[in-house]
Chain A
């Protein structure tokens, strides 16, 4: 469905953010992209969504294809109409607009009235709280509700592929769990998902396939469950050192105490 082939992106003609990334999102799949800050995750999504130019970025080589469509040659509006919609990092909801107006703005890329009506029912079913708060200013919602609004807003365009940029950012663990469930539900309803995350636990929990980006390159890829078991992912993203928690505590605690408090 979405295929990225040896993609190279630079900012300002100098800074290489993505160097030769290739990846696939098959129809109906949830694919996760893991990576720390600066790994090129957001750049990848900007390239797919056609907003690179707003950041003075340029595709130097490679292709991004959605079906038969070459996305690198399309503008953001055309890409939304083709069915690829992004939930940006940090939610970016329109805080001064009401919840309802936010959803309306999300549906602007959707010409089909019937599809729009269907989309709003789907969003309200997924997030009943958005129906309750429809007249409220979006800026007054809690962080978790804002993330739901951001996802709902994107769903208003009836996407075939939903791109999510760090939906867990700044949210409480319980809410992150809910977001994970929502993503799984959206996928069950027939939307493919490309999920970019630093929170590997949640991402690998919902994804079928995952890629690990490291300084602009794919360093690991494979089945999500297998990746979750691999040493490298465990060490880098799941916080396991291989030692048991008790061992860690006895190893680290005394040294830290000494260096800080003896003087």
Chain B
């Protein structure tokens, strides 16, 4: 039972991080009608920038600058590439983002090299025990920060002008344009928000119990894709549920590895994809996705 609770808590904390990434993925899809595969490398960029800047600047300034850099990178991708291809088929746009991702990733891997960079989190790699359930401090703080960010995001999405503009233009772009809503601006802001969320996620994703910033962090980021897709690509609530579901699945599959040994070692890493496939077989547009995604 203790093991189960411990895995559940760790799963939720991991899931909260995935939810941050998935939320960015979903709002980009809603605002720009792009399935953005650049998200993995943006995340790695955030982690890399924070790790490199932490030494000269100190931890907190490094986090601030790293988050801003990632947001700026996302903004530039939107302005310089995606915005110019407005109206292109979804597939072409997705492939363009894969291209951007490969370029960014290659450069980042060249920069990182074979090293594993460390982000000197002030909270270190210690674990705490809550009623016999163990969790790393990093993950505990991640859960708190992610929770605050997610609540802030949903409040803004529901009540702010940006939220209303964004939901309006996601529902009917032309009608929104006729109301004077500038879709370019809505879309650029969505990318910036997604960049911020990805960088914050990166900050925690490369902390304990994960070893540090290496090219491998990229594959971790990729697990947020099934989170966004199984929640329903155009549903922010779905991203949250999907993120948690994937996080818990991954933690459980890794924790009960011995019982699952007939599936081979490291099943935890593929479990998210298995869950995604199962969900999509039953509900092709995800748990909360709109049934019809084509627009007339």
Closest residue of chain A to B87, judged by CB?
A54
- How near does chain A come to B296, taking the closest CB pair, in angstroms? 10
- How near does chain A come to B173, taking the closest CB pair, in angstroms? 8
Closest residue of chain B to A109, judged by CB?
B180
Q: Are A101 and B175 in contact (CB under 8 A)?
A: no
Query: Which chain A positions have C-beta within 8 A of B168?
Result: 94, 97, 101-102, 105
Q: Are B175 and A80 in contact (CB under 8 A)?
A: no
Query: Which chain A positions have C-beta within 8 A of B173?
Result: 54
Q: Mark B29-42, 1 if CB is under 8 A from A, else 0.
A: 00000000000000
A156–B174 alpha-carbon span in the complex (Å): 17
- How near does chain A come to B205, taking the closest CB pair, in angstroms? 33
Q: Are B179 and A97 in contact (CB under 8 A)?
A: no
Q: A76: CB under 8 A from chain B?
A: yes
Given the known A-B contacts A94-B171, A95-B171, A97-B171, are A108 and B178 also in contact in the complex, defined by CB atoms under 8 Å? no
Q: Mark B154-194, 1 if CB is under 8 A from A, else 0.
A: 00000001001101100111111111111000000000000
Among A76, A81, A105: residue with most chain B CB under 10 A: A105
- How near does chain B come to A3, taking the closest CB pair, in angstroms? 21
Q: Are A105 and B181 in contact (CB under 8 A)?
A: yes
- How near does chain A come to B89, taking the closest CB pair, in angstroms? 14
A204–B220 alpha-carbon span in the complex (Å): 65
Q: Are A92 and B174 in contact (CB under 8 A)?
A: yes
Query: Which chain A positions have C-beta within 8 A of B165?
Result: 105, 108
Given the known A-B contacts A105-B176, A105-B181, are A96 and B161 also in contact in the complex, defined by CB atoms under 8 Å? no
Q: A13: CB under 8 A from chain B?
A: no
A80–B181 alpha-carbon span in the complex (Å): 9
A184–B172 alpha-carbon span in the complex (Å): 28
Q: Are B174 and A88 in contact (CB under 8 A)?
A: yes
Closest residue of chain A to B176, judged by CB?
A105
Given the known A-B contacts A54-B87, A101-B164, are A109 and B171 also in contact in the complex, defined by CB atoms under 8 Å? no
Q: Are B172 and A54 in contact (CB under 8 A)?
A: no
Given the known A-B contacts A54-B87, A105-B164, A108-B161, are A157 and B171 also in contact in the complex, defined by CB atoms under 8 Å? no
Q: Are B179 and A109 in contact (CB under 8 A)?
A: yes
Query: Which chain B positions have C-beta within 8 A of A49?
Result: 178
Query: Which chain B positions have C-beta within 8 A of A153?
Result: 179
Q: A58: CB under 8 A from chain B?
A: no
Cross-interface CB contact of B179 among A95, A96, A105, cutoff 8 Å: A105
B residues adjacent to A (C-beta < 8 A): 87, 161, 164-165, 167-168, 171-182
